[in-house]
Amino acid sequence: MMMSHEQESTPHTLRILYGSQTGNAEDMAKRVGLQAKSLGFSVIVETMDDFQLKELPRQHLVIFICSTTGHGQEPENMKNLFNFIRRKDLPKNCLSRVRFTVYGLGDSSYAKFNYVAKILFKRLKEIGAQPIQELVASDEQHRYGCDGAIYPKLDELWLKLNKVVPPTGSHQDCYSYAIGPSTQDNVEKIFDENFRERYNLKEAVCVKNQRVTDPSHFQDTRLLCFKSIQDIHYEPGDVCTIYPQNSTENVQEFIKLLNLDPKQRVKVNKLDPDYMVNYLYDFIPDGTTIEDLVRYYLDIQSVPKRSFFEYLWPFSGDKLERDKLKEFATTEGQEELYDYCIRPKRTILETLMDFPNTIGNIKLESLLDMIPPIKPRSFSIASAASVHPNEIHLIVGVVSYKTNLKKSRKGLCSNYLARLEPVEGIKCISQSSIIRFFIRRTSFKLPQDDKTPIIMVGPGLGIAPFRGFIQERHRRRLNADGVGSFPDTVFNHLYFGCRYQSKDFYFEEELERYSSKSTIRLQVAISREQNKQYVQDLLKADSDLIVRLMRNDNAIFYVAGNSKLPEAIRIALAEMFSQLDRSDESSDYGEKVVAHLEASNRIQYDCW
C-alpha cells in the first residue's frame, strides 16, 4: 500500500530527498534508491521541495543528495526546504528523531565547492538531526567522477544502518515501470499534460539559426531566435531551459540494435508511485511510439555509469560478455570502467554495440531503469522581452571535439539546436524547427533604478545575459521622454572578451551602436592578437572608476562566463579595493570587501 506522505515513516522507510539543477543529483538519487530497494528498504525518492516540510521531524532515515549551482546557490527544487531549515526560530532539537546523511555533488574547479551540501549538513546537525556518517563531498574532477566518493560511502552506509537484508532479486526482476501495448492512436504530444502544467512547458519555432563566428574559427557559435507558440514573459537575466532530443541517426541505430518496432505504440505504467516522484518517465503519454520514446526520453548519448552495468550484466547469457559487464559493476572494476567508458566518453549506444550477444536479451521495460532520461539544458536568454515580444534569443557554442583517444564527440543539446531548420513563422511548424522549453527565473537581475550603474563582465558566451540587460536599459532610456533622459551620462559598463576581433566578437555591430549612443561604455579585450588582453586587464586599467562606482554610486557588478572566471575576477577586485581604498590597512581588506558585496548581491555571478 502506498504510504501517505502525512504518515509517520517506519524505521524501515528510507526517504531520499534531492536538489538538482541539471539532473545529476536526480540521477544519483535514483541510483541510490534502486540500491536501497534491492536491499529490502521501503524507499521514497522525491525532490526536497516536493516533500512536505511539516513531515521532516517524523522521519527516521533520510538521505539528502544535492548539488551546488552558480556561485554557491542551491538548486531551484530545494529552495523551500533549504530556506526553512535555516530559519533562526527553529528549536535546536526539532529534528532529534531524524538520522541522516548528506551526499554533495560538486566540482572542485568552482570556488564554492559543495557549498550547499556543507551548509545543509551543518544546519541539520544544529537543529538536532543525527548524522549517520560525515558529509560526503564528491567531486566531478575525481578520476571516477562523483561516483568515486559516493559509492564507497554507500557501502559503509548500508552497514551502519544495520538494515541490510538478502536482496529481493537481481535488478532485472525489480522494474520501476511496466511497458505494454497501447490502444491510443495518433498521439503527437511530447510529455503529458501534467508535465506541461507542472513546468509551464512552452513550445517555440526556430526563425533564425545563424553562425556568428567566422567559418575559419574553430568554434561554431550560433545565434538562435525562437518565436513562441504560446505567450511568454521573461525578464533580462532569466534562463531558457530546453529539452533536447536524440539525432535521427542515433535513434535508428538504437532501435535496430535492440530489434524494436519503431511504430509500436506503448503505455508506460509506474509500478511504485513513491519511487522517484515526478520523474520524467512518469510523464510519457499513453500511445507514445517506440521511436518517440527513444528520441525524446532515453539519454542514449550519455556516458554509462556503474549502475548501468549493474542492470545490464544479468541479461547476458554469454560468459565472456557477462563477466566483463559484471566486472564494470564492481568496486574492483572501476579502473577498467574508467578506461573503457569515462576516459573516452563512450556513450550508452556505443557500449551496447560492443555487447552483441547480450542486447538481444534486454527487456523493453528495463530500459527506463537502465538508461537515464534526457536532461534539460539551460541557456541565459540573450534578448529583452520588451524589445522582442514572444521571442527568445540564444547564443550557443556547438560542442564538438575529439577525445584523448581521437574519438569524435558531440554535445547533445547544442548539436540538436544547430540542426534546427528556421521557418518563416509559427504557421510553418515542423518537428525539425520546434523546441520545448520553460523559463527559469534567476536572481541575476537589473536594479530597479535605471540610474544605478551596472558593471558587466562577460567574455565569450558570457555576453548572453548582458545583451538582454543592454536592450532593456536602452529601451527604458529612450522611452523615458521619447528622446533619451540622460544622454551625457553612461550607467552601463560592459567588459567583453574574445580571441579575435574578426572571428568571435559577438554582436560587434550592435554593441558599437549602443556605445555610439552612450547607452554603454564598451571595453573589449582580445586575447589572441598582438596586444594580448583579458577582461581582468581591462578591469585593472579602470580600477579607479570601478572602485568609485562600487563605493560611491552603489553600482552592481555582474560576471557571466565559464566556471573559472569568478575566482579570477574576485582576485582582481580584491586587489583594486586593497590598493585604492585605504580606510583599512589589513592584508585581507580587499577580500572582505568583495565578500561583503557578494553577500549583499552587489556582486552577482552567472557561470557554468
Residue 399, amino acid: V
Candidates 94, 116, 95, 97; CA nearest to 105 is 116
Q: CB–CB of 182/265 below 8 Å?
A: yes
Please report the sign of the dihedral spanned by the C-alpha atoms of residue 548, residue 550, residue 551, residue 554: positive
Helix (H) or strand (E) segment spanning residue 484: none
355 Cβ contact list (under 8 Å, min separation 6): 312, 316, 318, 321, 324, 325
Candidates 229, 216, 205, 275; CA nearest to 42 is 275
Which residue, chain included where needed, has cell 505504440?
265
Q: CB–CB of 387/354 below 8 Å?
A: no
CA distances to 83, 99, 533 from 96, rounded to whole Å, are: 19, 8, 56
Q: CB–CB of 134/96 below 8 Å?
A: no
Residue 48, amino acid: M
Q: CB–CB of 74/86 below 8 Å?
A: no
What the block records as the C-alpha cell of 330 is: 564492481
The side-by-side arrangement of strands in the sheet containing 288-289 is 177-181, 265-270, 288-289
349 Cβ contact list (under 8 Å, min separation 6): 250, 253, 254, 257, 300, 301
Q: What HEC string does 404-416 produce?
A: CCCCEEECHHHHH
Cα Rg, the chain, nearest whole Å: 26
Summary count for the chain: helices (H), strands (E): 20, 22
Tell me how crowded residue 373 is: count the other CB atoms within 10 A of its CB: 23
Candidates 462, 591, 603; CA nearest to 534 is 462
Give me the phi and psi of 427, to 5 degrees please.
-80, -10
Locate all alpha helices (DSSP H) within 449-585, ordered by sequence: 463-479, 508-516, 535-541, 543-552, 565-580
Specify binding-site residues for NADP(+).
527-528, 532-536
The side-by-side arrangement of strands in the sheet containing 202-211 is 377-380, 239-243, 434-440, 202-211, 221-228, 391-397
Which residue, chain included where needed, has cell 539532473?
23
Specify binding-site residues for FAD.
377-380, 411-414, 608
Rounded CA-CA distance 335/573 in Å is: 42
- Residue 580's Cβ-side half-sphere holds a number of Cα atoms within 13 Å equal to 19
Specify binding-site residues for FMN.
20-25, 67-70, 105-114, 140
CA distances to 243, 301, 332 from 410, rounded to whole Å, are: 16, 9, 30
Rounded CA-CA distance 266/261 in Å is: 11
Rounded CA-CA distance 292/284 in Å is: 10
